[in-house]
Amino acid sequence: MHTPKPIIIGHRGAAGEAPENTLASFELALEQGAQAIELDVHITKDGEIVVCHDGTLDRTTNGSGLICQQQWADIQKLDAGAWFSDKFAGERIPLLSEVFDLVPKGTLINVEVKYAYEGRMESALLAFLRGVDRNEDVVISSFDHKVIQRLKRAEPALKVGLLYAANLIDHGAYAKLLEVEVYSLHPHHHSFEGSDIALATADGLAVYPYTVNELSDYQRMIDAGVTGIITDFPGRLKAYLNSNS
């Protein structure tokens, strides 16, 4: 049976070649042929949704401390590119809305919710998504499956996905345990065998393993029949898919 090529999902943009979760990184991912991007979100003290992997500013900016304890006006002044390379000095932590403005309609945006922040993230995210009206383009994922369940209950039109790193006995059956419809599974790429994926996709689930960067692992994902591959190197994956189809 012919399986379609997996879609290319740029992890934090093109995190292997640009400072993760910056507009430069998302632009590069799109230029390299990513059909989707993955990003991580946190919330500032004054309720803005910002795109950053860590809950703290220390690793990827010239600031420090928790994002949730600081105002957006201060966070927006920080440099989020120089730590990666001088070439990217001046990149900022973007607001989620700025990434949505950058990414063309029809390109999938996988928003990974890192923490619930006692429900503040869910409220802010639901308000934002209602405002932009792009549910078709969005998949919300999280390692916190209760957040996912609550978001889907609150907004049934949302596509939601489960992140996990456990080698589950039956991936599709786990997704059915939630009391809401799950759109996608986002397993760590070592947390399944090929046969698991066939069962899940037969159940109608999209499967987007993370974070896959080596050519041999690309092939393993293709052989397993995944729907998409989350990678730090969208260009590398594109070249591999083109030369091996």
Task: Provide the pairing of β-strand 36-43 with 49-51.
Answer: antiparallel
Q: Which of residues 40-69 bind Mg ion (CB under 5 A)?
A: 40
Residues known to be catalytic: 11, 53
Would you say 48 or 112 has its CB closer to ligand G3P?
Answer: 112
Q: Which of 20, 112, 137, 196 binds Mg ion (CB under 5 A)?
A: 112
Instruction: Point out which residues bind ligand G3P (CB under 6 A).
Output: 11, 38, 40, 53, 112, 141, 163, 186, 210-211, 230
Counting residues that bind Mg ion (by CB under 5 A) gives 2
Q: How far is the CB of 141 from ligand G3P (least distance, A)?
A: 6
State which amino acid sits at residue 14. A
* 17 part of the interface to Mg ion, by CB under 5 A: no
**Distance between CA 27 and CA 228 in Å, rounded?**
19
Tell me the closest approach of the beta carbon of residue 143 to ligand G3P, in angstroms.
7
Closer residue to ligand G3P in complex, CB, 41/71 = 41
Please, what is the minimum distance in Å from the beta carbon of residue 122 to Mg ion?
A: 17
CB under 8 A, 24+ apart: contacts of 27-33: 27/102, 28/234, 29/234, 30/103, 30/104, 30/107, 32/234, 32/235, 32/238, 33/8, 33/234, 33/235, 33/238
Cβ proximity to ligand G3P, 129 vs 163, nearer residue: 163
Binding site for Mg ion (CB under 5 A): 40, 112
